[in-house]
Amino acid sequence: MRNGIRNIVFDMGKVIIGFDPGIFMDREKIFDENDRRLIEEKIYGSEMWLQMDMGDLNEEEMIKKVTPEFPGHLRPHIRNLIAGWPYPLIEIPGMNDLVFDLKGRGYGIYLLSNASVMQKEYWPGVPCAKCFDGMAVSAFEHLMKPDKRFYEVLLKRYDLKAEECLFVDDRRINIDAAASLGFDTFLFEGDALKLKNYIDN
């Protein structure tokens, strides 16, 4: 066990569950490269997607706003691409088992995620969701990583000390913000065993 660490704080997308627009487009059988680039630009890389994560826009509102920006052959797919991506959820190999293991060993388990209000609908379908002792989700707090105030929401809500928490995220900018607050940190690159070894040493 890492010295002094009592709690593990996880990011969600690309850490607990997969988030891969390429897979979402494959599910819709959209393989044309121009179509895929347009979808990346207008949906997953758009300002509206960030507005959803901030809680300033929901999925239905984005669908209504963005659909007219697409050619007719793509419009039937827009709802699934925006609101249907979590179905089915993609598991990150080994992570559900690791979270169950850490919970069984007495760690506090928490979630700190940039996600839309729809998170509350699909999160219960994540096998390890039952292990979590608490969470802060950006859309409900109107704050996003790497804003330090968002991390502080989680710390204050559950009376946690940053120096007793390991923060796990797939983005360096989010890791750096956590480290500046005193968290131990781990940059997750898809390897659950590497994370386990880090926690155990």
E strands along 2-161, which residues? 7-10, 108-113, 134-137
pLDDT in tens, 79-136: 999 999 999 999 999 999 999 999 999 999 999 999 999 999 999 999 999 999 999 9
Integer CA distances (angstroms), 9 to 21, 24, 50, 100, 136, in order: 25, 27, 22, 14, 10
Q: What is the mean pLDDT of the chain?
A: 97
**CB-based contact 99:128 (threshold 8 Å):** yes
Q: Give residues with Cβ within 8 angstroms of 38, minimum separation 6.
A: 70, 74
> Rounded CA gap, 185 and 170, in Å?
11
- Non-local CB neighbours of 175 within 8 Å, separated by 6+ positions: 167, 169, 185, 186, 187
Characterize the bridge pairing of strands 108-113 and 7-10.
parallel
The whole-number pLDDT of residue 45 equals: 97
CATH tag for 7-18+89-200 (out of 2.40.50.140, 3.30.70.120, 3.40.50.1000, 3.20.20.150): 3.40.50.1000
CA separation, residue 131 to residues 61, 69, 111 (Å): 32, 41, 10
Percent of the chain with pLDDT over 90: 98
CATH 3.40.50.1000 in the chain, residue ranges = 7-18+89-200
Q: What is the pLDDT of residues 161-185, one digit of tens each?
A: 999 999 999 999 999 999 999 999 9
Over residues 180-190, the pLDDT tens digits come to 999 999 999 99
Tens of pLDDT along 67-83?
Answer: 999 999 999 999 999 99
Per-residue pLDDT band at 201 (split at 50, 70, 90): confident
pLDDT-derived band at 3 (thresholds 50, 70, 90) equals: confident
